[in-house]
Chains A and B, each alone.
Chain A
């Protein structure tokens, strides 16, 4: 039986190694086949592009770990972005930003309460939130808003050495978030809830509160992403962020998260984000038509997941069925 333990751990290591290898391979292929990949402009772009997906993916991961899903994040991005851009005209920039993030937190909390307290299906609750919040974004402004104070754009363009500030913010979210999930009682409880909520409840842990917390974190991340996106592109559109939730979910799943909950890590989700962004960037550099990009992305996601499934120990897969 000791050998079993070693083998199980061994497999985790192989999966992780294969994953790192995949990302390395993508980078090497990109660097050798495209002259523009290693240019400063492209790399900076790449670092900036991954921020939105990255932030959404972390929030999504926390929700997915509980066994739920948050389809509303794309709409929250739009709402938080356009409200912040609008408020910049009247409020100091930090305050406007705070309102944007707070709106994300509020939406997330409402989602969480509906799922945890009223025991509604996460898919349905967040699907309803998706359309409601999108509608609210348009109610706030049908037309795009350019932030009145150009100081607002500093956030999206500031560089810390060679690295964009917003990328550092995203990395910090993954860093802190990783510690939260791995090392704090609420983080571990969220993962355990996805594994078996009844066991967790009987262990004296308030399951509902943790589920609300998970959706609130997702809302927070989406609110933050909305502000950063607006600040980066310089304009807030009520229509932005459609289907953003799909990339976030894909990143989590590529990173080894189970949609039935209980399994997944911040490190994995971050790897998933890298894979997605690199594939996008590579296909762009090759000048692949955007519709074909979608097709290829879908196929690659399936391939990655198939590889992971075959590498997972059988008995564990069965225990989760």
Chain B
């Protein structure tokens, strides 16, 4: 009896992210899946849980093919997934969240005392007896909510339990309870699929470890046969080709200094300096606080310690520009034309009297479209939503370049961008740095953060844990500082 994923391929919008993944697991196993950001772990889990369909390949249980095209199908086959994002209904009690419609009844009405007893029993069995089933889910800490999520997945007694980064929010006794639970499930013959960044945990819990990288399984090993160092080496190590421009000469004067910046619960005591003519990488795993840090530096969020710009307007006046991570959410006004999107930052500063200088807006946009090769031709008056991801990203860049920045903060500028446009973007950033700009490149792509930069800052759990020269540093060295031991 094994659960087997065979030759699974997955493409999003023409870009293949899984290139034929094959893996299997037997009852009573704890199968750990490790890999760097973007390696394909999340996609694998989404396929297992029925959240997204695979493009090709099969999922079999004991040789019989399972059709899993929705979470409902996955549940029917006994596969339960606890996702990283919490899905409890905060306004409902723990009992209601756990039983979700399957309430004990008396005379056709819900028997609340019995329901709470049942919920309490479920929590007890999972080892999370500290949680009161009568509490509203939203009042629990994130860690406790996570525990309820896990208990909820166990209600239907699944034969496969998929845990996506369950320990990210758990610590101390809660974590011990989780480990004990996993061992009990294991002895009951449940297959546990465990995804985590924390390698020490993986080594302690797993019976087998699968390493994925760039959408492929690159190694399958056991805790006895490996250690943290070897795992990190397996997760990293992509070959560098001529995607990145030559590195830049020694930087000039400091342009932006951040000193002891902090924001409660997000990051703390962060200091660094950006100099003219250099590209500085900022690497951190999801949740390390890098995006929050960028927002504070730019004045889009208020720090609780240290000084920063008080508003984006002030940052822009000081010559700072920021390309955010989320194009649709905060980079573009999707329904507006390319020209209006490009003009957003400058229509006020270049206005003639009360009116927007339309001639100027037209020529500025045309020049940018030309310089950055924004396709398709004649897109100036098209709603920006009709452009491809890469071209949308160029529109965001164009908007900021028109403000004549001296410091450019780029948060994941190449996410969801095709290779050709990536190369364009790297060349452009390089050109800007050579013209004397300071660039902060925030990225969770290891290869990029080393290849396109001059030095790298590494962030872990809200703190800077290292500053490395990009030249000669290996991906392992960066990962080591980014991953909590």
Q: Which A residues form the contact surface with B (CB < 8 A)?
A: 1-2, 4-5, 8-9, 179, 183-185, 188-189, 191-192, 195-196, 198-206, 262-263, 315-316, 319-320
A202/B330 in contact, CB under 8 A = yes
Q: Is the CB of A204 within 8 A of B345?
A: yes
Nearest Cβ on chain A to B80's Cβ, whole angstroms: 30
Q: How far is the CB of B139 from chain A (nearest CB, A)?
A: 23
7 examples of A-B residue contacts, CB within 8 angstroms: A2-B376, A5-B386, A183-B356, A184-B355, A196-B332, A198-B329, A316-B386
Residue A5 contacts which of B316, B333, B382 (CB distance < 8 angstroms)?
B382
Nearest to A6 among chain B residues (CB) is B378
Of the candidates B313, B335, B348, B377, which one forms a contact with A263 in the assembled complex, judged by CB atoms under 8 Å apart? Answer: B335
- CB within 8 Å for A184 and B311 given contacts A198-B330, A263-B335, A319-B385: no
Give Cα A315 to B386, complex, Å. 7
Q: Given A2-B376, A8-B386, A9-B381, A199–B351 Cβ distance below 8 Å?
A: no
- B354 near A184: Cβ-Cβ < 8 Å: yes
Chain B 329-350 per-residue mask, 1 if CB under 8 angstroms from chain A, else 0: 1111111100010011101100
In the complex with contacts A198-B330, A204-B315, A8-B382 CB distance below 8 A: yes
In the complex, number of A-B residue pairs with CB atoms less than 8 Å apart: 102
Q: Which residue of the partner chain B has the closest CB to A261?
A: B335
A2 to B385, CA, bound (A): 14
DSSP majority for the A interface?
helix
Q: When chains A and B are docked, how far (Å) is the Cα of A205 from the Cα of B312?
A: 8
Q: Given that A5-B376, A192-B336, A196-B334 are known contacts, is A315 also in contact with B385, CB under 8 Å in the complex? A: yes
Would you call A188 and B376 a contact (CB within 8 A)?
A: no
Q: Tell me, yes or no, whether B140 is within 8 Å of chain A by CB.
A: no
Residues on A with beta carbons closer than 8 Å to the beta carbon of B386 = 1, 4-5, 8, 315-316
Q: How far is the CB of A211 from chain B (nearest CB, A)?
A: 15
| Residues of A contacting B358 in the complex (Cβ-Cβ under 8 angstroms) | 183
Would A204 and B376 be within 8 Å (CB), given that A5-B381, A192-B333 are in contact? Answer: no
Give Cα distance in the complex from A262 to B382, angstroms: 15
List chain A residues, Cβ under 8 A from B399.
203
Interface hub of B298, B316, B336, B377 (most chain A Cβ within 10 A): B336
Cβ contact within 8 Å between A192 and B344: yes
B300-A203 in contact (CB<8A): no
Residues of chain A lying within 8 A (CB to CB) of residue B439: none
Residues of A within 8 Å of B298, CB to CB, are 202
Known: A8-B382, A204-B311. A188 touches B324 (CB 8 A): no
| B355 lies within 8 A of A199 (CB) | no
A14 to chain B, nearest CB (A): 17
- Extra A-B contacts (8), CB below 8 Å, given A184-B351, A203-B399: A1-B376, A5-B376, A183-B358, A185-B347, A195-B336, A196-B333, A202-B330, A320-B334
The answer to whether B382 and A320 have CB atoms under 8 Å apart is: no
Contact status B312-A319, CB under 8 Å: no
* Residues of chain A with a CB closer than 8 A to B315's CB: 204
User: Complex Cα distance A293/B349, Å?
Assistant: 50
A195 in contact with B333 (CB, 8 Å): yes
Question: Interface code B397-411, partner A: CB below 8 Å = 1, 0 otherwise?
Answer: 001000000000000
Residues of B within 8 A of A185 (CB): 347-348, 351, 356
